[in-house]
Amino acid sequence: MRTVNIYEAKTHLSRLLAEVEAGEEIVVARNGTPIARIVAVTRTGRGLVGCDDALAARGELRFDDDLSAPLDAETARLFEG
């Protein structure tokens, strides 16, 4: 598992995703503190994990009340191009 800082992840996202597709896991860090992990999507016999699995888990999924709340300024800044 390799660790990269946010700037490197943003600058070299395509290359990092190619590494993830090849089986690598990438940890993204801010000031040396891990904040996220990039891993390949797990595929099932039905296709990508996602909607079918969510439908099968109907009634078992719970979301925080603030799921649609605005992002804090620091997090919003990370998504800006």
Q: Could you state, in order of their start, the residue ranges of all structural domains in the chain?
A: 2-61
pTM value > 0.95:
no
Residues 25, 38 contacting (CB under 8 angstroms) = yes
Indicate if the alpha-carbon torsion angle 19, 22, 27, 28 is positive or negative: positive
Alpha-carbon dihedral of residues 56, 47, 40, 15, nearest 10 degrees?
-140
* DSSP, residue by residue, 41-63: PPEETTEESSHHHHHHTTTT---
2-61 has CATH 3.40.50.1700 classification: no
- The 10s digit of each residue's pLDDT in 12-48 is 999 999 999 999 999 999 999 999 999 998 765 555 5
Give the residue from 8, 3, 10 showing the smallest Cα distance to 25.
3
